[in-house]
């Protein structure tokens, strides 16, 4: 049972059954699998997308309207397990964050869709407990980068667009991306499509991505698994890393 199954219609299921039976695979091409040298990519784990403390989403959006609520915090806990292991194994870790500086190209999008900076604090903020000292576009302290880790500021949905990400990956001879973060249907999906276009082994770690709505999360995972990536559970990824790489002595 996959997370997206309950959102598929009977027609969808019949199409998939016939397609998979004909090809002998799941999805259009089956699994691409892991490569030889991975990097961990943590996408946009900022406070505005989580809130400054774990709350159910309908409570959290009163403080931070872009928040994903409790589901996001669960995913942060799973990311922390993966991040800790990658650090132990000296796996390259890359964080991304949204560039909302006054002269960022993001301003063009903001002019069309509404300034994201004005949508990060709820209208009832004054009546609620004050924020705990972190700013909306700070990376959540639970996943804060350490000195040697790469932090890439991006102005578009994809972590590749207009950034140095591809150069960093090429410099380190990376062939596999372990993708985590938010939102599943937005920046994660956009990054995954570009990663597939650049021919990386692209692994979406299922428990480590999150979104604001259940349907968007589930169907985006389905779509990526069918076309652009392998959507794989955290335990399988942890096992592969532990068996494939040696902790430095």
| 208 belongs to the catalytic site | no
Direct distance between the N- and C-terminal alpha carbons of the chain, in angstroms, rounded to an integer: 40
**Residue among 86, 180, 187, 208 flagged as catalytic:** 187
Domains of the chain by residue range:
34-244
Model pTM score? 0.89
pLDDT, one tens digit for every residue, the chain (249 residues): 899 999 999 999 998 888 876 555 555 657 899 999 999 999 999 999 999 999 999 999 998 999 999 999 999 999 999 999 999 999 999 999 998 776 666 555 555 555 554 555 555 444 445 456 678 889 999 999 999 999 999 989 999 999 999 999 999 999 999 999 999 999 999 999 999 999 999 999 999 999 999 999 999 999 999 999 999 999 999 999 999 999 887
Euclidean distance between CA atoms 100 and 87, whole angstroms = 29
What are the DSSP calls for 38-76, one per residue?
EEEEEE--BGGGT-SS---HHHHHHH-TT--THHHHHHH
Superfamily holding 34-244: Isochorismatase-like (3.40.50.850)
């Amino acid at each position: 049972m996959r997370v997206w199954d309950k959102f598929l219609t009977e027609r969808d299921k019949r199409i998939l059954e016939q397609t998979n039976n004909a090809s002998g695979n799941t999805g259009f091409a089956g699994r691409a699998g892991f490569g030889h040298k991975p990097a961990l990519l943590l996408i946009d784990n900022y406070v505005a997308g989580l809130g400054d403390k774990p709350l159910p989403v309908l409570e959290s959006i009163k403080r931070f309207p872009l928040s994903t609520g409790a589901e996001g915090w669960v995913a942060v806990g799973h990311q922390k397990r993966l991040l800790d292991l990658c650090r132990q194994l000296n796996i390259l870790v890359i964080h991304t964050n949204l560039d909302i500086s006054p002269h960022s190209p993001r301003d063009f999008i903001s002019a069309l869709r509404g300034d994201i900076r004005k949508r990060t604090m709820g209208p009832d903020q004054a009546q609620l407990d004050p924020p705990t000292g972190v700013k909306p576009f700070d990376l959540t302290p639970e996943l804060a980068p350490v000195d040697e880790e790469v932090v890439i500021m991006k102005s578009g949905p994809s972590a590749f667009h207009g950034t140095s990400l591809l150069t960093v990956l090429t410099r380190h001879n990376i062939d596999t991306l372990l993708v985590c973060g938010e939102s599943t249907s937005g920046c994660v999906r956009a990054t995954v499509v570009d990663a597939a276009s650049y021919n990386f082994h692209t692994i979406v770690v299922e428990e480590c991505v999150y979104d604001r709505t259940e349907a968007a999360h589930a169907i985006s995972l389905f779509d990526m698994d069918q076309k652009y990536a392998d959507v794989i559970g955290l335990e399988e990824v942890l096992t592969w890393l532990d068996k494939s790489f040696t902790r430095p002595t």
